[in-house]
Structure 1
Amino acid sequence: MRLAILAAYAAVISTATASYAQQSADPSGVWLRDDGNARVRIAPCGSNICATNLWIRDTSKGEEAGDRLVMSLEPKSPDTLAGTAYDAKRDRTYSITVQVSDRSLLTRGCILGGVLCRNVHWQLAR
């Protein structure tokens, strides 16, 4: 009897997890940063998600076309992903949250254990 209950419980958890994963946010696409300085493609890369600069207007802060941020994200809610982002150019890992809506993204990247954070708004490129 216990085995049957455990099997039923496992089936419910598995179905709920699969359903939740299907409903999770997908940030894939080409996005424009709210300050007009960047055009970025977000797409799967292996088991991660990569954000690759396609175009940068002002390169004075070290950003260049081709720079890539490798994100390891997990669903937190149907519209939010959270995890880490690695910037190989700067050899820095950030904690990151990505909130996805139909035509916009809000990213929040933090360093120093969440002491220093920055929000960036993005619009879907047309």
Structure 2
Amino acid sequence: MFRTIAPSLFSSALAALPLALLAPIATEAATPITGVWARGDGNAHVRIEPCGANVCATNIWVKPGRKDEAVGDTLVMMVKPESEKRYAGKAYDKRRKLTYSMEIDVKPNLLSSRGCLLAGLACKSISWRRLQ
């Protein structure tokens, strides 16, 4: 069994996951991932927005009673577009002080993120629905 990766984009696993690139950062054809997203399990909402040269997914709401994540938890994503609907790179979970490899598949109102530790041996995928 593998360890949960991060609170927001990856549900306490790669949480935060969130999980956001602006058109200026991405290629013209790449679908932007900035905005507010609800995690598929209903336990968190994240805002994905630029933060310096990177993109950050920050928890803006966490279901009450969650002990493994909190509002304000941030995942710093250093991802670049690989195609119109896919981003790849690395993500740093500030709370856990862990770096993950990351892939993000995006449609206009849906996002799927996958983060891995240990050269792909411990991975977690999370689905997201756009709220804004």
TM-score grouping bracket, smaller chain normalisation: 0.7 to 0.9
* Residue 86 (structure 1) shift: 0.2
Taking only the aligned residue pairs, the percentage that are identical comes to 43
1:80-119 matched pairs, under 5 angstroms: 80-119=86-125
Structure 1 residue 25 displacement after superposition: 2.5
Corresponding position of 1:35? 41
Q: How many residues align?
A: 107
Equivalent of residue 78 in structure 2, options 46, 67, 72: 72
**Distance in 2 separating the partners of 1:95 and 1:77:** 17
Q: Secondary structure at the match of 1:22?
A: coil
**Equivalent residue letter for 1:104:** L
Q: 8 Å contact 1:106–1:120 — kept in the other structure?
A: yes
SS at match of 1:23: coil
TM-score calculated relative to the size of structure 2:
0.77
CA distance in 1, matches of 2:120, 2:39: 22
Select the structure that is richer in helix. Answer: 1
Q: Which has the higher contact order (CA 8 A, sep 6+)?
A: 2
RMSD: 1.5
Runs of 4+ in 1 over 3 A off after TM superposition: none
2:66 maps to which residue? 59
* Partner SS, residue 119 of structure 2: helix
Q: Aligned equivalents of 1:21 and 1:88: distance in 2?
A: 27
